[in-house]
Structure 1
Amino acid sequence: MSTAAFQPNQLEGFRIGVTSDRRSSDLIDAFERRGARVVHAPTLRIAHSQQDGPLLDDTRVMIAARPDVLLATTGYGVRRWFEVAEADGLGHALTEALADTKILVRGPKARGGIRATGLNDSGMSDSETTASLVTKVLEDFPPGLTIGIQVHGFTDEAQLDRLRAVHKRVLIVAPYRWIAVDDTDERVYKLVEAICARQLDCVTFTSAPSVHALFGAAEGMGMYPQLVAALQTQVVAGAVGPVTAAPLESAGIVPIQPTRFRMGALIRLVCEHLEQNAIVRVDTQNGPLALRGSIVEIGGDRIPLPPTALAIMRALVTARGAVVSREALTLALAAPSDDHAMEVSLSRLRQTLGVPGLVATVVKRGYRLNV
């Protein structure tokens, strides 16, 4: 995997949520090595059948049918399909049955999976989506054929219906599927709470089903509006490509997404975006101040802040020296709070910063940074 050039401490102070299951270690390692604190909460996980009987049955049907065209959608799915077939003694028969089949791939990873089997593809979709792959079949081949398709974890029935409307037979193999995480796994619920409380700076998504699953969890918690509001404002959503971005955009969220739909490109984009857009700098009477995620940088020191102190500091920094009322600071705290709780948090913020006069009191009005 190609990753962004390594810069130690590039993401120090930033907090990033990772929602993927498969290959999540790649994202987590890349972010943590750059200094970020990562919250891993897979919203879905890949499930393999306890027994691969259905997959083997579908494989035997595919071998007998010798499809005219095969659509390969994911490299992982292709590899697992052939591994299961090989383990059951069907590997040679499957390869031989597909020798004269026109194979179309959704993207480079699916192409790599096909070539690893000793087969070659005849073309790739225009935009690396299942929809564009189906469009290519409908445009490039006559109707009435037998079409095979390796579906990935989330079956797009609309695309299958497009094929069924034109071709004689559509055969499906599903080497794996997505399932929701166990209800006893509290990580997703804690992720929702952290997003709503603005305790994360970015959340990454690598599949559309993972977005839907997070939305579903938030709805079940009664926090969907708060989740969407956070992702529309202070918490950046990072999507690996347009298919993943689609459900976010439908909810009014504008995610960042790389021009190349690859994990390494997503890592690079998150790093660049947070560095360029998520560090707030203010000149104060005590010198330059920068708020980078959960860390305040002032006087050459980087000072980590706990959540309540961070919420107050963020409100003060955003105001850039303007007065912030007591009521506004109280509302900035994530949990329901009163003036006393806010004052305690403000006192702790001043103690943590250790910079006398940086946070000034404006009598009967509120508080401000001493700029």
Structure 2
Amino acid sequence: MPVGPLAGFTVGVTADRRADEQIKLLTGRGAECLHGPVIKTHALGSEDQIRVATEQILRNPPELVVLTTGLGVRGWLEAADAIQLGDELRVLLASVDLYARGPKATGALATADLDVAWIAPRARYDDIIDTLHERGIDGVRIAVQLDGAGANGLCDRLDEMGADVVRVPVYRWSLPGDTAAAERLIRATVERRVDALTFTAKPAVENYLEIAGFLGLADEVADALATDVVAFCVGPVCATGFTDDDIATPLVPEKHRLGAMVQQIARHFGTRGQDVELAGTHVRLQGRLMVFEDCGQAWLTDRERSILDVLLERPGVVRSKRELLQRVWHGSESDEHLVEVTVARLRQRLGTASDGIETVIRRGYRASAQ
């Protein structure tokens, strides 16, 4: 029997940080994973930008501090410890209002025994801007822990509202130096060899789409995400990488955490299983996995599963080789012999249920329960 709700499904993982943890959670639920990191996280040296920014706010303390990411909070405190400023920084942070953008930054602050004055309800910079606008920040000194993309939109808006903004860089994001694995994942998306993609940061979404553009596959990726491949984003900010350009509508867990996203993936695909009768044999279809009533199992290729899906849409209805070629190969092939070979392999995998795929001479194929 399937070992988990994701058995038979393949999930593409785009993260670099915590990718091993994510893959372990997914494979523990039965998934196959294809790792194609589309983003690289670079820690900034503790002796340069972080030292300058930390010393600046220690000499002239801000009235409030905005913390944007859990990674940034942890990285800032660790870097401050490395330059012997950690104790002073913690005393300062305990004495001012701390504004957190979402649960990750909040969790990192709680771990450091620091109280949060306010949490952005949707984990978006717009929430922070609206709240600070209502508060009034003209002339107010504010320190902002930057995210990997620089949080430039947030800082620029605070500057426009008259705040004295101190930028605290901790890390930055970039494209990977080697994009080969990301390119393999993008091609797998276009070819529908993955059922889902996971994203844990908006720049990862942007990089994924940028690399797809480099490959000339932007339209094909958009089509896959609109039809067969489900995108999952860890939070609403991450999801705007798709929704701002109307490329896809990703699924986002209520709790914006990695574990919650994995649970959401398991729930989503846990409902995708299909029970069918083929030639009097009960077969459970789950992704690319078939489980027979005698508890035997067989794995289908993507083409085999796609052909079976088309035949099972309307059991008993004949599907021509030309239609199957168009539906399964999406117009990339014209040789109907490919359909014959794929159906033959499918029958081999079906074993005793193989008679459920019938050949109708000069017309095509159909699925039969009898």
- Tell me whether the two structures share a fold, i.e. TM-score over 0.5: yes
The whole-number CA distance in structure 1 between the counterparts of 2:134 and 2:163 is: 16
Q: Find 1:88's aligned residue among 66, 70, 83.
A: 83
- 1:214-363 to structure 2, matched below 5 A, reads 214-249=208-243, 250-276=245-271, 278-300=272-294, 301-331=296-326, 332-333=328-329, 336=333, 338-354=335-351, 355-363=353-361
Aligned residues of 2:16 and 2:37 also touching (Cα < 8 A): yes
The whole-number CA distance in structure 2 between the counterparts of 1:349 and 1:158 is: 53
Q: Find 1:77's aligned residue among 72, 78, 98.
A: 72
Q: Which amino acid aligns with 1:145?
A: V
The whole-number CA distance in structure 2 between the counterparts of 1:30 and 1:116 is: 23
Runs of 4+ in 1 over 6 A off after TM superposition: none
How far residue 51 of structure 1 moved from its aligned partner, in angstroms, is: 6.3
How far residue 161 of structure 1 moved from its aligned partner, in angstroms, is: 1.8
Aligned residues of 2:53 and 2:167 also touching (Cα < 8 A): yes
What does the per-residue CA deviation read over 1:50-101, in whole Å, with 9 as the maximum and x for residues that have no partner?
6641222222222222111100111221111111111111223323444432
Q: Which amino acid aligns with 1:356?
A: S
- 1:29-48 to structure 2, matched below 5 A, reads 29-48=24-43
Structure 2: 5+ residue stretches without partners: none
What does the per-residue CA deviation read over 1:213-267, in whole Å, with 9 as the maximum and x for residues that have no partner?
1111111111111111111111111122221222223334222221221222211
Q: Find 2:158's aligned residue among 154, 163, 174.
A: 163
Number of aligned residue pairs: give it: 363
The whole-number CA distance in structure 1 between the counterparts of 2:224 and 2:281 is: 31
Match of 2:170 in 1: 175
Match of 1:195 in 2: 189
Identity fraction in percent: 30
Aligned residues of 2:47 and 2:83 also touching (Cα < 8 A): no
- TM-score scaled by structure 2? 0.91
Query: CA 1:71/1:192 → structure 2, altered by over 3 Å: closer, same or farther?
Result: same
- 1:15-26 to structure 2, matched below 5 A, reads 15-26=10-21
The whole-number CA distance in structure 2 between the counterparts of 1:220 and 1:346 is: 35
What does the per-residue CA deviation read over 1:77-136, in whole Å, with 9 as the maximum and x for residues that have no partner?
111111111111122332344443221112233223234445322221222222212322
Query: CA 1:41/1:62 → structure 2, altered by over 3 Å: closer, same or farther?
Result: same
Q: Which amino acid aligns with 1:63?
A: L
Query: CA 1:337/1:292 → structure 2, altered by over 3 Å: closer, same or farther?
Result: farther
Aligned residues of 2:289 and 2:298 also touching (Cα < 8 A): yes
The whole-number CA distance in structure 2 between the counterparts of 1:150 and 1:191 is: 32
Aligned residues of 1:67 and 1:98 also touching (Cα < 8 A): no
Aligned residues of 2:10 and 2:34 also touching (Cα < 8 A): yes
The whole-number CA distance in structure 1 between the counterparts of 2:206 and 2:336 is: 38
> Which stretch shows the higher mean deviation, 39-48 or 290-299?
290-299
What secondary structure, in the 3-state scheme, does the structure 2 residue paired with 1:77 have?
helix
What secondary structure, in the 3-state scheme, does the structure 1 residue paired with 2:355 have?
coil
Match of 2:364 in 1: 366
> Which stretch shows the higher mean deviation, 147-156 or 190-199?
147-156
Aligned residues of 1:146 and 1:167 also touching (Cα < 8 A): no
Match of 2:5 in 1: 10
The whole-number CA distance in structure 2 between the counterparts of 1:168 and 1:269 is: 40
Structure 1: 5+ residue stretches without partners: 1-6
Aligned residues of 1:81 and 1:175 also touching (Cα < 8 A): yes
Aligned residues of 1:44 and 1:179 also touching (Cα < 8 A): yes
Query: CA 1:51/1:151 → structure 2, altered by over 3 Å: closer, same or farther?
Result: closer
Aligned residues of 1:145 and 1:167 also touching (Cα < 8 A): yes
